[in-house]
Structure 1
Amino acid sequence: MIDPNKHEIDGLACACQRGGAYVESILKTDLATFTEQEWASLIDVIVTSFQDYLSTAYADDPPF
């Protein structure tokens, strides 16, 4: 992402927090030990969190 705006920066922070919470919930910190399903879940949590955050943020403050 080049030159992220405030909503994108905040969305990334939200996605990081939720991704971290997922990692803590499965009690694994070594990414090399993740199963394929755990990787897929982590990616889903991060991407969905980011998209949901932006959707809400832009509904209240459109980028145009």
Structure 2
Amino acid sequence: MSCAICGRAGRGFGFTARREGAARQAACSMRCLDILNARGGAVYDLNHFEKQAIEAASEKAGTYLEEIGKTDLATLTREEWRQLLSTVFVAATAQIQRLTDEDAVPF
């Protein structure tokens, strides 16, 4: 079951609203569970690892767009859009892995 807030895989955290027929929802973390509990609470601020990961991903996204010769995102084909998203995702997660060690997971 996917996290009802961010879409990551649910990790044992669950939530069921106290109303008739409410479906059980999963969360990936206490952070997402708190948001579920607050029923759409505020979006959390990025931590310093995530901010640095976004910077690294931005560079990779720019490089990819230069390689295909496009700057207007509206002109991307479906495959180009998927490749751009994949590039950003892989770059961001790789940067978080580089910035953390086995004992300091940022999320």
User: Structures share a fold, TM > 0.5?
Assistant: yes
Q: Distance between the aligned counterparts of 2:72 and 2:49, measured in 1?
A: 30
TM-score, normalization by structure 2 = 0.54
Residue 101 of structure 2 aligns to a residue whose secondary structure is: helix
For residues 2-25 of structure 1, the C-alpha deviation after alignment (integer angstroms, 9 at most, x for no partner) is 222211111110011110111111
Please give the root-mean-square deviation of Cα atoms over the aligned residues, in Å: 1.9
Which of residues 48, 56, 63 in structure 2 aligns to 1:6?
Answer: 48
Residue 59 of structure 1 aligns to a residue whose secondary structure is: coil
Letter matched to residue 44 of structure 1: S
Q: Shift of residue 63 of structure 1?
A: 3.9
Which of residues 54, 59, 64 in structure 1 aligns to 2:101?
Answer: 59
Q: Any stretches of 5+ residues in structure 1 without a counterpart?
A: none
Equivalent residues, number: 64
Residue 84 of structure 2 aligns to a residue whose secondary structure is: helix
1:20 maps to 2:62: yes
Q: Any stretches of 5+ residues in structure 2 without a counterpart?
A: 1-42
Point out 4+ residue stretches in structure 1 off by more than 3 angstroms.
Answer: none
Which structure: greater helix fraction?
1
Which structure: greater strand fraction?
2
